[in-house]
Structure 1
């Protein structure tokens, strides 16, 4: 007869204990946060346990734009971990040139989906193995594509395919995403794999599709939440799609490596994979650095980075050019005056096309595809502007603040190529323009990306007039935040310039 009251008493006691325990846990977390905030730069007040994550998920660009109001340094919290944000070009230059700021954080999501296991280039932390991989990749990319004439030939050849592909739908509404991404991907593919892929290649189109899905998911809410609570890997959800997609992408690279091993001619390396296979053989005594798994990860990094960022920038560029038809027409007039319609541009034409060259840079500034830069991490305790920064602190570079600073830009809040022209109409690049970062972690593919952006955009403007279809859908110019900031899906109309009235 006493069982039921005792059970109720026990349940009440357990419930009360859990409630009090939760209150104490939250109080300790608030005390811990306040202790951190007293030693780190100012920033928005974080919530217990989740930090700034809800704000980052709800409106990421609004949060990014707000960070500079706290000063040259500010602090965000990814869950319980502080991230220092660098908000001025002066403090960015001071920090990023130092090795102390050249690490990469261990990201549970990246490790789980298998995009790094201590090998590769992009997300590997600073050290001897990373230096060796980067040095080899840079040297080999130069040999197989980054020499000026070689990369120009590849891009100009591909630009002809791209123009033809986009004009297949002349006068009709079309989404330019696939054609642009295929064209950009073909350059890194020709360097890494030794071949390009046709625009109607179904397998390659599928790979680009799942690549886009991963870029979206990795930087969106699912990716951020996974990094906060990685044990969700045991449960169903969109993160499982990330894992599946990555397995297929890496499987594609492994197939390429296997095929290259079977057809390798040591006297005539065809591409990056061949060169790496020869390096593995050459450095058998250095198996900790050069082995087949590190080849797969390095080739995957190059393929992922070389297939998305430049194409995304050009997609933003089409939006800005259609929204500013006077800029589009002025570029076309300058290009035709210098080149005519028959000769495609080369990199030596940049000085003769100052307005067009300025427009390419203005597209990069306004596209701002990585608003907070690629995350860094301190590899040892250091100091910056009077703050003690512990080892393992994540560092973000607020490129949004840099690219909209009224002190550095004539027209910071609008798309205007005059931002990159001096009073005489000559091209002039401000020192605060650092879309490829700087220091030891400066983008490995900067030369390739600059070449692609100038040659593709100039070729397209020479041959095609771009406009909106009737009744276009309004675009949120904040875009969609994933691993990079991409525009919302949009359609355009292309018309050949020599048939346009």
Structure 2
């Protein structure tokens, strides 16, 4: 009797999901797509080891805009420069909502932050964060000074390798993370500081886990609560990072001077005090912890990963590396390169943009959501529908990039060899949800040129054997592990 009851219950559940799916398809005029199954939706069409390729292949069958179901969750998928640009840039307000990313939602329990909340809450927190980061130099000369200082420490660490093989991922992550730490916590850490080492380890581990099939399977987070596996470590890491931030916030509270804020945390604490009598305030302790967590997780890792991609590409193409070392002609050896040198180094600028395009650090983008019923390309997308924008199809759009599967800096320079930005360039997304870390990532020039001014990058094997394809793709493109040697110049 129990087995019969269970079977009937499962059948009833499947019928309910099917009815909900079919009824949701009648809301608005959605673009066509593959027919979903009850409960599973279109999950069987997605390869667990490579969801990105699966989504891209579906766009070849159904076009630059199609509807699919991740379980019972309806999403519209956009591919190619024109479709993505029209949505995120041309109709930025309608597409400015943030869709559910199950891993982050499961961790935040709905208490979102500047990346994962919507409405007035998102606008207020984002505006506040931008203003504070600007006031501490994110887009001013002072951030260049912080990077140049960090660059000196980085070069010292790299010299310690003495030409021996090493994996550069950790040392690069420490250097870039320290820039963000100085803005959030008020000071940079020593390279061997336990807090910095913990931050880097937690972020690196979670990026790897969230670029694996386990991240995709969190479409069913309540089910995976009962399934053992490495996915459980994602939330353990998130909690450890949150506890580290909470400890720093406690120290800030004990020494806070509202008239002289030292960093982002001080500014947020002061804002909390100013609005503590306002029941509508968005400034609370949980929000401070989650927003700081978001800034710490999202900013440095993208830059560090891109630097590793650059190392691999420059080793695979030694002629490109040699040409980038035009640094010697423009800057010389007496000082570190500065941002003002960038205009005189168009080829280096093109190489950095090509690395960012080719690396595709966030190939699927974080999900968006339409904020109202939205007419788009002859269809009507119902309010609340999640939208996936395939940034990899922007960076590999054959109508914009000649031979997009090849790494070639000539995709960017103009005919006169001055730098020319391609429209098919969206590594930080576009529109209202543009990544807050873009301004830091633009300073990638300082990191890369400082390293190449002092060292040549040497692969352990033949350059042509270097594999630039990712090991796996999820939230990010996960690099294959590698080592290199640095030869002092």
Same fold (TM over 0.5): yes
Aligned counterpart, 2:445: 454
CA apart distance, 1:48: 4.4
CA apart distance, 1:47: 4.8
Aligned counterpart, 1:7: none
Is contact 1:64-1:371 (8 Å) kept? no
TM-score by length of 1: 0.89
Aligned counterpart, 1:319: 312
User: How many pairs does the alignment contain?
Assistant: 482
Aligned counterpart, 1:299: 292
Aligned counterpart, 2:457: 466
1:53 partnered with 2:43: yes
Deviations 1:120-139, CA, capped at 9 Å, x for gaps = 211112x1121111111000
Q: Residues 372-451 of structure 1 correspond to what in structure 2 (within 5 A)? A: 372-451=364-443
1:66 partnered with 2:49: no
Structure 1 counterpart of 2:352, from 347, 351, 360 = 360
Aligned counterpart, 1:18: 7
Structure 2 counterpart of 1:93, from 70, 85, 95 = 85
Given the superposition, is the C-alpha separation of residues 227 and 341 from structure 1 closer, same or farther in structure 2, using an over 3 Å criterion?
A: same
Aligned counterpart, 2:96: 102
- Tell me which protein shows more helix as a share of its residues: 1
Deviations 1:199-258, CA, capped at 9 Å, x for gaps = 322342233212222223235332332332424325544333222211110000001100
Deviations 1:378-420, CA, capped at 9 Å, x for gaps = 2222121111211221111121111111221234221111111
Structure 1 counterpart of 2:31, from 25, 32, 41 = 41
Q: Residues 231-242 of structure 1 correspond to what in structure 2 (within 5 A)? A: 231-234=223-226, 236-242=228-234
Aligned counterpart, 1:6: none
SS where residue 241 of structure 1 aligns? helix
Is contact 1:108-1:230 (8 Å) kept? no
Is contact 1:479-1:486 (8 Å) kept? yes
Structure of larger gyration radius = 1
Given the superposition, is the C-alpha separation of residues 45 and 177 from structure 1 closer, same or farther in structure 2, using an over 3 Å criterion?
A: farther
1:345 partnered with 2:337: yes
Given the superposition, is the C-alpha separation of residues 424 and 82 from structure 1 closer, same or farther in structure 2, using an over 3 Å criterion?
A: same
SS where residue 189 of structure 1 aligns? helix
Given the superposition, is the C-alpha separation of residues 428 and 377 from structure 1 closer, same or farther in structure 2, using an over 3 Å criterion?
A: same
SS where residue 495 of structure 1 aligns? strand
Given the superposition, is the C-alpha separation of residues 64 and 370 from structure 1 closer, same or farther in structure 2, using an over 3 Å criterion?
A: farther
1:248 partnered with 2:240: yes
Is contact 1:119-1:293 (8 Å) kept? no
Q: Residues 73-222 of structure 1 correspond to what in structure 2 (within 5 A)? A: 73-96=65-88, 97-114=91-108, 117-125=110-118, 127-222=119-214
Deviations 1:129-166, CA, capped at 9 Å, x for gaps = 21111111000101112142101101111111112212
TM-score by length of 2: 0.91
Is contact 1:464-1:495 (8 Å) kept? yes
Given the superposition, is the C-alpha separation of residues 51 and 158 from structure 1 closer, same or farther in structure 2, using an over 3 Å criterion?
A: same
Q: Distance in 1 between matches of 2:226 and 2:397?
A: 45
Deviations 1:58-98, CA, capped at 9 Å, x for gaps = 32242243244132212343123232121132222222243
Is contact 1:410-1:418 (8 Å) kept? no
Is contact 1:109-1:230 (8 Å) kept? no
Q: Distance in 2 between matches of 1:394 and 1:408?
A: 27
Q: Distance in 2 between matches of 1:471 and 1:429?
A: 32
CA apart distance, 1:337: 0.5
List gaps (5 residues or longer) in structure 2.
none
Say which is worse superposed, 305-314 or 233-242, in terms of deviation: 233-242
SS where residue 174 of structure 1 aligns? coil
Is contact 1:78-1:228 (8 Å) kept? no
Q: Distance in 2 between matches of 1:215 and 1:33?
A: 36
Q: Distance in 2 between matches of 1:64 and 1:320?
A: 26
Is contact 2:151-2:175 (8 Å) kept? yes
The Cα RMSD (Å) is 2.8
1:489 partnered with 2:478: no
Q: Residues 261-340 of structure 1 correspond to what in structure 2 (within 5 A)? A: 261-286=253-278, 288-332=281-325, 334-340=326-332
